[in-house]
RNA sequence: GUCCCGUUAGCUCAGUGGUAGAGCAUUUGACUUUUAAUCAAAGGGUCAUGCGUUCGAGUCGCAUACGGGACACCA
């Protein structure tokens, strides 16, 4: 700690640094070694009947200190909760007792003592001995109002976690949700795999990528926007059921439901179709809700949502008809479609194709209404370059998305497995890219080559994990379910 | 990218163009079952940053930074 730095510190921080000097005079180490513990706080509270009168030892952070002359109370917090400490001068001796009263909120100590209940019924530890373990040099936010400032909460998540217990709950729940997804898929014979995060050609979806550079190879690489094309290569290779649950990176706008890096789960299954995947999706979400929240009936920001399968299924054409009255089965030409869109107040360029118009109307007029889980099926081919064409109507694909609370929660389709068709669709994307569409797909020759070896009929599903966690943890912003959300640097 | 809002003590927040406020936290004292402990006293501020308007700016204006919200972009 340099002196010029100390000058910047506020009074509270100077006081705490001075306490370190006083501790050193007393031969107490401000930063010590591990302390042998027998329990966590919550274990004692939960098993009080068995532990009353027993000796226990704990490690934790002082969160409150109430001195009463010759006896003091403190609240000790660890990863499982809090417990009250009761320290008496005649138990620990005058010197230790006086030192205890100089502890700061935030300091970390090890204690051992006897479990008992105070007169007012509070389960506590009568401290027989304690050891200082680590000094806290910065004051924590206030005990009652906690830390509210969102900027500080996101930038200094460690403080948020210390003082806002519900934040810890959210992230524990997130961990359980991800664990249950893995368990669900593994129980059904899916193999978890890891494919590259740095791609020479970013593919698998429409999105702008982040670009990075490899020095030794002297080449640019792209942070992946989706694992899709690599997972399908694995289906070519003979893995019939695979999934990957990890980060994707998209260089796009940020919002309460978009973070530049986010967690995606993609599943691929050979010899299956999109009906199988709809079943898997609704069962998986129900399994996760049941095993983390204990119910498939949840409440998100005041809205009751019932995740119990089966979920409602509608084609995109049916959904648009239901919410706007426009029947795309009756629309023959692109021009008619554009006119229909304009008739309900949507601005659409004149040269827009029928399928894109349908999708625009869906996004503008339908999506937001789909609060209860709903599968929307059969997406237009123009916006689905990796999905299999429907035999019944080549304008559409065997693709579906699930919506909950008006948000897209997953995207899935029976995969295009015809390498010749795939190559043509890539070529069309390349033309659109040349025409200025930055998010059109790039040609991936190796992926086409893989398909040329032959791939069984396959279905794939991608689930936005952060949004699922938002719904299940009742979190209003994606930043509330990502420990360290992307932010500009301070200053 | 556009618009709106916010930034005052460690934290949570008041603040009407005229001496910078409260609660908690902190320091000192009292108190051996308190628990938002209590009681008594004290200290604590580059009002985000910069430039203006004004006799005088936390307050009015402009710009910048960071954050939040909405929209746009976007699966």
The 10s digit of each residue's pLDDT in A400-431 is: 999 999 999 999 999 999 999 999 989 988 99
Cβ neighbours of A409 (radius 10 Å)? 21
- Residue A230 CA to residue A193 CA, distance in Å, equals 10
Residues A171 and A127 in one domain: no
Looking across all nucleic acid strands, the nucleotide with the smallest C1' to CA distance from residue A119 is: B33
Report whether A389 contacts A380 (CB < 8 A).
no
Tokens of A18: 């001075």
Determine the Cα–Cα distance for residues A335 and A475; give it in Å rounded to an integer. Answer: 43
pLDDT of residue A3: 32
A363 touches strand B (CB under 7 A): yes
> What pLDDT is stored for residue A440 in this prediction?
86
A350 touches strand B (CB under 7 A): no
Rounded CA separation A257/A478 (Å) = 5
Share of chain A above pLDDT 90, in %: 88
| Of A112 and A253, the one with more pLDDT | A112
How many Å apart are CA A315 and CA A377, to the nearest integer? 4
Within a domain: A324: no
A220 alpha-carbon distance from chain centroid: 28
Q: What is the mean pLDDT of residues A449-468?
A: 97
Do residue A207 and residue A295 come from a single domain? yes
A411 conformational bin, left if phi > 0, alpha if psi -120 to 50, beta if neither = beta
Q: In angstroms, how far is B75 C1' from A205 CA?
A: 8
Residues A120 and A211 in one domain: no
A267 and A393 both lie in a single domain: yes
Q: Could you give the angle at the alpha carbon of A418 between the alpha carbons of A412 and A419, nearest 5°?
A: 110
Residue A174 sits in the same domain as residue A52: no
Question: What's residue A138's pLDDT?
Answer: 94
Helix (H) or strand (E) holding A303: strand A303-306
Res A39 pLDDT > 50? yes
Q: Give Dmax (Cα) for chain A.
A: 92
Residues A107 and A250 in one domain: no
Write out pLDDT tens, residues A121-148: 999 999 999 999 999 999 999 888 899 9
Contact A425/A382 with Cβ under 8 angstroms?
no
Q: Is residue A25 part of a domain?
A: yes
Distance between CA atoms of A74 and A64, rounded to whole angstroms? 5
The Cα–Cα gap between A214 and A254 comes to: 27
Asked if residue A180 is part of any domain, the answer here is: yes
Phi, psi of A116 (to 5 degrees): -155, 175
Please give the Cα distance from A137 to A107 (Å, whole number).
Answer: 8
| Distance, CA of A374 to chain centre | 22
pTM of this structure: 0.93
CATH code of the domain containing A469: 3.30.930.10
Name A residues 401-460 whose Cβ lies under 7 Å from strand B.
401, 408, 411, 439
User: Which residues 3-62 in chain A have a CB closer than 7 A to strand B?
Assistant: 10-12, 15
Residues A184, A286 within the same domain: yes
- How confident is the model at residue A6, as a pLDDT? 39
**Contact of A306 with A296, CB cutoff 8 Å:** yes
3-state secondary structure of A312: strand
Please give the pLDDT value at position A349: 87
Tell me what the mean pLDDT of segment A190-200 comes to.
96
Question: Does residue A112 have a pLDDT over 60?
Answer: yes
Beta bridge partners of A241: A269
Strand B proximity: list residues 462-491 of A with CB under 7 Å.
464, 476-477, 479, 485, 487-491
Closest CA to A320 of A357, A365, A369, A356: A365
Residue A53: closest CA among A115, A121, A125, A126: A115
Task: Evaluate whether residue A144 is within a structural domain.
Answer: no
pLDDT band at A99 (very low <50, low <70, confident <90, very high): very high
- Rounded to whole angstroms, the Cα distance separating A7 from A250 reads 42
pLDDT digits (tens, 9 = 90+) for A358-376: 999 999 999 999 999 999 9
Please indicate, yes or no, if residue A36 is contained in any of the structural domains.
yes
A18: CATH:
2.40.50.140
Find the domain containing A109 and state its range.
3-134
Instruction: Give the ranges where A116-164 is alpha helix by DSSP (H).
Output: 150-155, 157-163
pLDDT-wise least confident of A110-119, A236-245, A297-306, A433-442: A433-442
- End-of-domain residue from the set A134, A153, A185: A134
**What pLDDT does residue A9 have?**
66
A378 touches strand B (CB under 7 A): no
Q: Tell me the Ramachandran region of residue A180: left when phi exceeds 0, alpha when psi lies from -120 to 50, beta otherwise.
A: alpha
Nucleotide nearest to A153 (CA to C1'): B67
Q: What is the pLDDT of residue A433?
A: 87
What is the pLDDT averaged over residues A259-264?
Answer: 95
In angstroms, the CA of A482 and the C1' of B58 are apart by 35
Residue A340 located in a structural domain: no
What helix, strand, coil percent values describe chain A, rounded to 5?
35, 25, 35
The 10s digit of each residue's pLDDT in A381-408 is: 988 988 999 999 999 999 999 999 999 9
Q: What is the count of structural domains for chain A?
A: 2
Q: How far is the CA of A389 from the C1' of B16 (A)?
A: 69
Do A122 and A197 lie in one domain? The reply is no
- pLDDT, one tens digit per residue, over A329-350 is 999 999 999 999 999 888 888 8
Kindly state whether residues A118 and A234 are assigned to the same domain: no
Residues A285 and A418 in one domain: yes
List Cβ neighbours of A301 (8 Å cut-off, separation of 6 or more).
A474, A476
The whole-angstrom separation of Cα A235 and Cα A268 is 8
CA-based nearest residue to A111, from A135, A85, A78 = A85
Tell me which residues from 245 to 264 on chain A have a beta carbon below 7 angstroms from nucleic acid strand B. 250, 252-256, 258
| A158 within a domain of the structure (yes/no) | no
Task: Write out which nucleotides of chain B lie closer than 7 A to a protein Cβ.
Answer: 1, 6, 9-13, 23-27, 30-37, 43-44, 65-75
The pLDDT of residue A36 is above 60: yes
pLDDT recorded at residue A452: 98
Interface ipTM above 0.90: yes
Please tell me whether residues A297 and A439 are part of one structural domain: yes
Report which of residues 62-101 in chain A place their beta carbon less than 7 angstroms from any atom of strand B: 64-71, 73, 84, 86, 88-90
Q: A89 and A187 share a domain?
A: no
Q: Out of A12-16, A37-41, A236-240, A487-491, which region has the weakest mean confidence (pLDDT)? A: A487-491
Is-contact A67 A103, C-beta < 8 A? no
| Residues forming a β-bridge with A244 | A266
Of the residues A88, A116, A134, the one at which a domain ends: A134
Round the average pLDDT of chain A to a whole number and report it.
93
Nearest CA-CA partner of A108 in A147, A141, A63: A63
Nearest-nucleotide field for A206 (CA, C1'): B75
Q: What percent of chain A has pLDDT over 70?
A: 98
Q: Which nucleotide is nearest to A252 (CA to C1')?
A: B74
Q: How confident is the model at residue A7 (pLDDT cuts 50, 70, 90)?
A: very low
Beta strands A261-270 and A458-464: pairing type?
antiparallel
- CA-nearest of A1, A30, A17 to A135 is A30
Give how far Cα A256 sits from Cα of A26, A29, A244, A259, Å: 51, 45, 25, 8
Residue A152: inside a domain, yes or no?
A: no
Query: Can you state the angle between helices A228-236 and A445-452, rounded to 10 degrees?
Result: 30
Is the CB of residue A181 inside 7 Å of nucleic acid strand B?
no
């Amino acid at each position: 700690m340099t002196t010029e730095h100390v000058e910047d510190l506020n009074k509270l921080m100077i006081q705490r640094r001075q306490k370190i000097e006083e501790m050193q005079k007393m031969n107490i180490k401000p930063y010590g070694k591990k302390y042998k513990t027998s329990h966590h706080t919550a274990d004692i509270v939960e098993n009080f009947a068995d532990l009353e009168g027993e000796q226990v030892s704990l490690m934790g952070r002082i969160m409150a200190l109430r001195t009463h002359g010759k006896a003091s109370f403190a609240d000790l917090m660890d990863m499982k909760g809090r417990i009250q400490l009761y320290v008496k001068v005649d138990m620990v001796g005058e010197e230790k007792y006086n030192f205890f009263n100089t502890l700061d909120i935030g300091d970390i100590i090890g204690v051992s003592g006897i479990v008992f209940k105070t007169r007012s019924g509070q389960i506590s530890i009568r401290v027989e001995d304690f050891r200082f373990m680590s000094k806290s040099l910065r004051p924590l936010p206030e005990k009652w109002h906690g830390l509210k400032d969102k900027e500080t909460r996101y930038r200094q998540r460690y403080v948020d976690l210390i003082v806002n217990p519900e934040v810890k709950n959210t992230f524990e729940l997130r961990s359980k949700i991800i664990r249950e997804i893995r368990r669900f898929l593994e129980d059904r014979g899916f193999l978890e795999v890891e494919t590259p995060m740095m791609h020479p050609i970013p593919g698998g979806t429409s999105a702008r990528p982040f670009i990075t550079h490899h020095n030794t190879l002297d080449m640019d690489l792209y942070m992946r926007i989706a694992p899709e094309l690599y997972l399908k290569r694995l289906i070519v290779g003979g893995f019939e059921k695979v999934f990957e649950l990890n980060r994707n990176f998209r260089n796009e706008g940020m919002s309460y439901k978009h973070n530049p890096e986010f967690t995606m789960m993609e599943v691929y299954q050979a010899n299956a179709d999109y009906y199988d995947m709809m079943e898997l999706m609704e069962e998986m979400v129900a399994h996760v809700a049941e095993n983390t929240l204990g119910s498939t009936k949840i409440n998100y920001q005041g809205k009751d949502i019932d995740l119990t399968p089966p979920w409602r299924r509608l084609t995109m054409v049916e959904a648009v008809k239901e919410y706007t009255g426009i029947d795309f089965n009756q629309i023959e030409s692109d021009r008619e479609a554009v006119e229909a869109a304009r008739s309900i107040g949507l601005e659409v360029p004149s040269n827009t194709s029928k399928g894109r118009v349908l999708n625009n109307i869906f996004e503008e007029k339908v999506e937001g209404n789909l609060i209860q889980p709903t599968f929307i099926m059969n997406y237009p081919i123009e916006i689905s370059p990796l999905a299999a064409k429907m035999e019944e109507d080549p304008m559409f694909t065997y693709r579906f998305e699930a919506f909950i609370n008006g948000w897209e929660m997953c995207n899935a389709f029976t995969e295009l497995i015809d390498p010749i068709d795939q190559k043509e669709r890539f070529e069309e994307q390349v033309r659109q890219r040349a025409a200025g569409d930055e998010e059109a797909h790039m040609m991936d020759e190796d992926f086409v080559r893989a398909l040329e070896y032959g791939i069984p009929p396959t279905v794939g599903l991608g689930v936005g994990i952060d949004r699922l966690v938002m719904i299940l943890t009742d979190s209003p912003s994606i930043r509330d379910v990502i420990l360290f959300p992307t932010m500009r640097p301070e200053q």
